[in-house]
Structure 1
């Protein structure tokens, strides 16, 4: 095992005591109190020394591979010593207790069956049972097969015999009550299913009505939009026709006569248009 430095161990051992002394010398009031109370002084220095010892012991221990190996060997040796001392003999006492319970006789059919099995061997427990041959007239050969929805005369007669007895009447009454409860439960279940189907159908019809109303509304809206567009287009066409008619009438109509319009005279020689108040042509100079 790896060894630590002894000087470091001594320093750790004395470190808490040195810290206590430094605090005492730095705080005058604390020093005065400790001088008057020797018990408190001894307790504080004792705790400091104990802390130093703990630090010193922990410093000396090196938790390496050898340390863990030594711990494992110690635990194994302790277990081997316990085994040698006979602490594992509890198993023998448990076996003895089980044997005592097995020897205790059990009463009734279970005890007889257990004694018969215990008197035999393990092979007797594992072997198959002998085949049992039954005759045709044996009651164990009768097999009743009940088919749902089919009633037989034997079943009716048996039901009548059972109804005639008092105990079986109570049993049949209980069976009838159970059947009625089952029938009521089934009817209630069917009623819930039917109500659920009706609610689903009503919801589907309501959804269909809403969808139809929405479709009608959208169709009416589309028709209104188309009518408005058609009216707007016809109004535009009418305004265009009026403007064209007005323009044509304005184009082919002659200029409006005003008091300021002057009369003209054309020259006979060169056909030049001259004002009526001019005596000679402005182009050729001929007399107008």
Structure 2
């Protein structure tokens, strides 16, 4: 497994491997079994003759001024072991100054899908996501890229970016990996106190209740939101709801008569940890 720390080395690796299918998994490190599942999925897509590339980079552009950039867990040695054990061929772990020159003057700005859900409470977050993913796509020269569906909005925005900017990259959305009690795996779960951790699975339970109501014929978004909110307030009193939204899964707008694919997404604060989850309704 190659561990690469700068752009010059990465370009050399890409040149040497030109013509070999490359499947890319971008991460911010602090890897867990959810990331391992993404790497294994990439390995399957790449096949025995392809390459699996993983980036480990805590991207400063996607953190707001009051968010946890300085405290975000950095566990590079452990991360490298997880990548190796799950089939990665190359790790790109740059420093911020390698990707962002001090005098940089070009930015990216998403104007539609980032206005709701997480984007409503994290202005500029998805601009930073688009910037780093675009740069990584250009640098890694991947054929495919793998993203988890836990951050449904992020995947939708990256799909839009690939479409609008004509990136020659095939995107693959991978189902959320969960703890045994249903909590979505997240690097931020380690911030939870034991009491918060005990209540956090209520997010998934409330989403499942909404799915059951949907299957039983409840299609009113407000009613589904109220159901989730009531359950969270009852079962997770330590949590503070950021949002609960019922949206069109393609454009993230309110559902309409023409909506074919619905997603319910929620974000809940437990102390400093902001946990997200979603469920698709088809």
TM category (shorter chain) comes to: under 0.3
Could you state the TM-score of these two structures normalised by the residue count of structure 1? 0.11
Q: Pick the structure with more helix per residue.
A: 1
Q: Quick check: which one's strand share is greater?
A: 2
Give the TM-score normalised by the residue count of structure 2.
0.12
Higher relative contact order structure (alpha carbons within 8 Å, sequence separation ≥ 6): 2
